[in-house]
Structure 1
Amino acid sequence: MHTMDEIVQQMASQGLRITDQRRSLAKLFVESPGYIAPKEVYDYMGKSYSGLSFDTVYRNLRIMEELGVLEQVVFEDGVKFKLHCRENDHHHHLICLQCGKTYPITHCPMDQTLVPDQFQVVKHKFEVFGYCKSCMQEEQTADL
């Protein structure tokens, strides 16, 4: 889902009321290429909607994640969200810690994970963090 209309349609199809705040939230993620921390979302939304609580922002982020509109990743400095990629098949990501660019990993490591009989997997996440070629080159140039 990459357009604001697609995101709004997805929310409406699940019975959510489409408010100006939810439209603004959808617009923010459509226009942001990388991951965004809930606090950054709250600060952005607070500029237009005085009295908006952090809990309301976070609840809407979680709802959008549950609907498959957003992806949530836990970084060392906390949880961040980004627009769900358009890939329809199950996959994971390589994530640049500098710019947030993602690359799909098409092979799922769960296929090779030995799960004990007394444990039932219901979902999993697998992300690999590092630096993309552009960010590595910028770092090397800065060191000169």
Structure 2
Amino acid sequence: MNLQDAITVLKEKGYKTTGKRKDILEFFASEDGYRPAKDLIVHLEKKYGTISFDTIYRNLHLYYDLGILEKTDLEGEKHFRLSCSHHHHHHFICKDCGKTKEIEVCPMDSASAELSNYEIEDHKFEIYGKCPECLHA
């Protein structure tokens, strides 16, 4: 998803595209990977001064609920990124910088056979480690 796609989703769902909302989307569109809310707050405070943590989290969760953002837990903290595609995939996530790499292999291909008597509703598969840049830094 790109910035314009995200703005279109907001408008189609009846939400106003305020300056702050657009700035939040621009932040994630410019980042390569998952970022915590505190990084977003630091970014927005440069322009707006003090920003309410609750306001930021409400918007982040709104964007997640609308499918604009993806989220994951890293070290006990929620991190967000702009949704990257509409096809099924998983991620390698760098624990140092948050960069991601799509992984096309899905472990559910083999797990489904073992769970043939179960109804699978959803799944999530992520691999964590260090990207080449952080590994050699």
TM-score (norm 1): 0.80
Between Structure 1 and Structure 2, how many residues are aligned? 135
Q: Secondary structure at the match of 1:34?
A: coil
- Determine whether 1:134 maps to 2:99: no
Structure 1 CA distance, aligned partners of 2:50 and 2:133? 40
**1:50 positional shift:** 5.1
The aligned counterpart of 1:96 is 94
The aligned counterpart of 2:28 is 29
The aligned counterpart of 1:19 is 18
Q: Secondary structure at the match of 2:136?
A: helix
RMSD: 2.1
TM-score (norm 2): 0.84
Structure 2 CA distance, aligned partners of 1:122 and 1:89? 17
The aligned counterpart of 2:109 is 111
Q: Secondary structure at the match of 2:63?
A: helix
**1:116 positional shift:** 7.0
The aligned counterpart of 1:76 is 75
Deviations 1:7-62 (A, max 9, x none): 11111111111111111111111122232111222333344345642122111111
Cα 1:115–1:46, aligned 2, differ >3 Å: closer, same or farther?
farther
**Quick check: 2:35–2:98 contact (8 Å CA) kept in 1?**
no
Cα 1:76–1:116, aligned 2, differ >3 Å: closer, same or farther?
farther
Runs of 4+ residues deviating >4 angstroms: none
* Identity rate, percent: 36
Structure 2 CA distance, aligned partners of 1:56 and 1:128? 30
Structure 2 CA distance, aligned partners of 1:49 and 1:132? 33
Q: Secondary structure at the match of 1:16?
A: coil
Deviations 1:71-102 (A, max 9, x none): 1011114110111113x310101112223222
